[in-house]
Amino acid sequence: MWNHNFMFRSTEAAPLKESENELFHDTDPAMDSAGLHLEKFLSVWIQGDGEGEAPTSFTNMYVRTATLDFQKRVGFLQPLQGRSHQIKQLLTAGQKQFLQQWLVAKAPQAWEATDDHFKMLFELE
């Protein structure tokens, strides 16, 4: 299985250079938000068929909200959401556009082989 993670600040269309694993690896779960300066993020996981860097098709997308206090290295990761209506509500138009363009450029043959149900996640409403 192929997978890739994108971390977006909640309203920005371009992802961070760091993945979810890199940002949250050395953080503790926040027990209370008092006194924290939390920034909001969206973590997007895209899965597909294929191995390594070469997907043959894209099959699933999961999105979760996250918050992180960079100074205190604490945060919250919410459960992954995989239903179409949840994904469409969480992603901004700019994020959808970035992800679709990245997938098409990364692996055009995989994009062509992808089911229409997956492609519908990128439709702007």
Alpha carbons 23 and 67: distance in angstroms, whole number: 10
List the chain domain ranges: 2-119
- Does position 122 have pLDDT exceeding 80, yes or no? yes
Each residue's pLDDT tens digit, 58-87: 999 999 999 988 888 888 889 899 999 999
Nearest to 28 by CA among 65, 78, 77, 94: 77
Question: Rounded to two decimals, what is the model's pTM?
Answer: 0.90
Higher pLDDT, 1 or 28: 1
